[in-house]
Amino acid sequence: MSVSSPYGIRLRPPMKSGPGRRSSPLHWRWTDRLALAFAWIAGLGLCAIAAAIVLYMGYRGVQYLRPSLLVSRPEVSLSQSGSGGFLDPVLGTLMLTAIGIVLAAPLAIGSALWIAEYGRPTWLARIVESSIEVVAGTPDIVIALFGLAIFQLPLLAPFSFTASGGGVFGRSFLAAGSMMSLIALPPLFTATRDGLQAVPDHMREAAFALGKTKIATIRAVLLPSVRSNIATGVTLGISRIIGDTAIVVFLLGDTPRLEPQGSAPVTGLLRGTGSTLTSYVFDNSPAGEGGAPQKAYAAAFVLIVFVLGLNLLVDRIGRSHADANGLNVAGAVV
């Protein structure tokens, strides 16, 4: 079995895995076998649950969703056939998402830049990071309650409807959107910060070595490097906003239709109330008023399509960025 090399050194034959090696789970300890079985069951079980949700909602959605529902406005009616469609909740969802992201993005990207590129003094950086963690960990209903307390202050009366007696209503797209930005901020912050921290230091030094200032480096090198991370964070933030109900019920008024306040075209709408798909689903489901359960299913289907679409988008952004720039995932430069 020996192989001799031209230099007269005898090489050992390659090692074989003998019969003593535990190669099959059948030879494992029973606890290990149990753990392996559990891991398989857990993984497959989650697949089954996800499939069940999507398939059931898909089935119900196909059963009840009519294109006319997407373009007709809701009506207040006791019978399901007379309750109209859910155009207003769809528009409400889109508006609220836009407001939330427009408010959250500069805050999140700015604080991520500060943490990753400045971050001095260290104790302050630590406080900032834990504050964002606190916001991320606060239940949305607590944020909603806090928002209501804030926006009912007389000082903030211009942001929502004020009753003739001077009572501040505290519910509007602006109020709900600003609290929604707190929901969207943590994922956007984390994605941007992680992206910046993955940019190797020699990239920054290369820009400094060309005589660039720190701010020019951030603008021309770092922000473009983390474009895909920001896009991922924005998409995650959007899906958080789309999925939230508590803030809508507390701060958007949850009126079936968009109800502008005053006659100004844009500000009236922003100061007005409305609803979103999530609150529409809740209101029309048997758990809410239960007026139109079939429409709740149809709206839930639209909601799930939105969110799955966004997830696909996150995936595509990461991948196309990697393809376009020869980067690996998360924008890290190899």
Partner 1 sequence: MSPEEMLLDPLRLAAEAEPERIQPQRRIHAAEQPGQGPVVPPVRTIVLDRAPLPAPPPSERASVRTQLAGAGPERLRLEEVSIDYGPKQAVKSVSLSIHQGEVLALIGPSGCGKTTLLRTLNRLTELTPSASRAGRIMLDGEDIHELPDTTLRGRVAMVFQQPNPFPMSIFDNVAFALREQSRKRPRRRELEPQVIEALRRAGLYEEVRDNLDGPALRLSGGQQQRLCIARAIAPRPEVLLMDEPCSALDPISTKTIEKLIGELRRDLAVVVVTHNLAQAHRIADKVAFMYLGDLIEYGSTAQVFDEPRATRTRDYVGGAFG
Q: Which residues bind partner 1 (CB under 8 A)?
A: 4, 7-10, 200, 202-203, 205-213, 216, 220-221, 224-225, 227, 324-327, 333
Q: In angstroms, give the least distance from the CB of 294 to partner 1.
A: 49
Cβ proximity to partner 1: between 29 and 201 the closer is 201
Q: In angstroms, give the least distance from the CB of 319 to partner 1.
A: 15
Helices H, strands E: what count in the chain? 14, 2
> Measured at the alpha carbon of residue 237, what is the angle toward residues 235 and 242, in degrees to the nearest 5?
95
Report the length, in residues, of the chain: 334
Distance CA 247, CA 140 (A): 7
Cβ proximity to partner 1: between 137 and 211 the closer is 211
Cβ proximity to partner 1: between 167 and 200 the closer is 200
Q: In angstroms, give the least distance from the CB of 197 to partner 1.
A: 16
In contact, 172 and 160? CB cutoff 8 Å: yes
Q: In angstroms, give the least distance from the CB of 209 to partner 1.
A: 4
Q: In angstroms, give the least distance from the CB of 129 to partner 1.
A: 20
Q: In angstroms, give the least distance from the CB of 222 to partner 1.
A: 9
Helix (H) or strand (E) holding 60: helix 30-64
Cβ proximity to partner 1: between 168 and 199 the closer is 199
φ and ψ of 6, to 5 deg: -60, -20
Distance CA 304, CA 290 (A): 20
Distance CA 327, CA 330 (A): 8
CA atoms within 13 A on the CB side of 85: 14
Cβ proximity to partner 1: between 36 and 206 the closer is 206
Q: In angstroms, give the least distance from the CB of 281 to partner 1.
A: 41
Distance CA 127, CA 263 (A): 44
Cβ proximity to partner 1: between 178 and 225 the closer is 225
> Measured at the alpha carbon of residue 136, what is the angle toward residues 100 and 232, in degrees to the nearest 5?
60
Pull the structure tokens for residue 309.
């679409």
Cβ proximity to partner 1: between 221 and 251 the closer is 221
Pull the structure tokens for residue 88.
């207003």
